[in-house]
Amino acid sequence: MTMEAELSDDERTFHRTIERDQRVEPRDWMPEGYRKTMIRQIAQHAHSEIIGMQPEGEWITRAPSLRRKAILLAKVQDEAGHGLYLYSAAETLGADRADLTRRLIEGRQKYSSIFNYPTLSFADVGVIGWLVDGAAICNQVPLCRSSYGPYGRAMIRICKEESFHQRQGYELLMTMMGGTTQQREMVQDAVTRWWWPSLMMFGPPDDRSPNSAQSMAWKIKRHSNDELRQRFVDMTVPQAEALGVTLPDPALTWNAGRGHYDFGEPDWSELTRVISGDGPCNALRIARRRQADEEGAWVREAAAAHAAKRQHAHREEAA
């Protein structure tokens, strides 16, 4: 109660909005920390969608059929869309998307560690849809209720589209599992490589996740990293059985007492390494993003010049 008395009207309104599970909207007053955290999280999320186009995009020209090519193209295009919805949300907080892109390219902002792994065969496309998009769905569904309005609304749009991503991946894998021995081996190999990095997508364990408590208090985040990881494992194990693949974790067993699967500890030193820039593809991903930005510069400039010229001509006509 004494705390309450020391708060300004603005702060009180903000806390009441959060408490009542209402949404904070762009022009509302908000603590600087909330704004910063929100921009950082949304930007990091947007960057992940954009960088995430690369590992799968590499397979568009090598897809085994026209149908698979069309599906993959649509999926990668969706990821571009997700990035843009999120940059749009970040701009409502006063961020500027060109500036955010610059921060990404200069390594000042991060993106999900998962996209720093290579896609070695076409089975990887299926496994990414199934596991990586599957983990993303687990993370993102609760974010639809995030306290920042534009972020929650972007997440609703994104979640609607993710379901197609996961299903096309799983269907692709089912098709391959019904194929030759070699195809089945490709699927198993891809599952073995992507399983642990997928579990790391939920972030470090709760006792080593310093920013989580504040994000939970602000209702930016609704569940802890470990809760979401457990949910993902519980969802995925029966899907792996139906597919006929083995998840590479000897500790993975049903625990009837807990009503959950027990599973092994991911190698957290690997996550730290990949996040800090030392994954198999970090340099490649950023170099590619930088190249796209630089090679697109003349197009942006030409379009702006064209628009300015047209506006000028329009004004002359009106005069």
Partner 1 sequence: MSEPGRHEWPLFEVFVRAKRGLNHVHVGSLRAADHDMALHHARDLYTRRNEGVSIWVVRSDDVVASAPAEKESFFEPSGDKIYRHPTHYTIPGSVPHI
| Residue 165 makes contact with Fe ion by CB under 5 A | yes
Q: Which does 297 bind (CB under 5 to 8 A by kind): Fe ion, partner 1, none?
A: partner 1
Q: Which listed residue (95, 133, 148, 247) binds Fe ion by CB under 5 A?
A: 133
* CA–CA distance, 177 with 18 (Å, rounded to integer): 48
Q: Are 20 and 258 in contact (CB under 8 A)?
A: no
Q: Which does 97 bind (CB under 5 to 8 A by kind): Fe ion, partner 1, none?
A: partner 1
Nearer of residues 99 and 265 to partner 1, judged by Cβ: 99
* CA–CA distance, 268 with 119 (Å, rounded to integer): 22
CB atoms within 10 A of CB 84: 15
Q: Are 157 and 85 in contact (CB under 8 A)?
A: yes
Cα-Cα end-to-end distance for the chain: 65
Q: Which listed residue (44, 88, 109, 272) binds partner 1 by CB under 8 A?
A: 88
Count how many Cα atoms sit within 13 Å of the Cα of residue 104 in the half-sphere of its side chain: 32
| Residue 77 makes contact with partner 1 by CB under 8 A | yes
Nearer of residues 98 and 319 to partner 1, judged by Cβ: 98
- What part of residues 160-179 is at the interface with partner 1 (CB under 8 A)? 161
Nearer of residues 14 and 85 to Fe ion, judged by Cβ: 85
* Surface-to-core class of residue 239, CB atoms within 10 Å of its CB (0-12 exposed, 13-18 middle, 19+ buried): middle
| Residue 208 makes contact with partner 1 by CB under 8 A | no
Residues 6+ away with beta carbon under 8 Å from 230: 260, 261
Query: Which x/- pattern over 250-289 shows residues binding partner 1 (rule: CB under 8 A)?
Result: ----------------------------------------
Residues at the contact surface with partner 1, assessed by CB under 8 A: 25, 27-29, 74, 77-78, 81, 84-85, 88-89, 91-92, 96-99, 102, 150, 153-154, 157, 161, 297, 300-301, 303-304, 306-308, 310-311
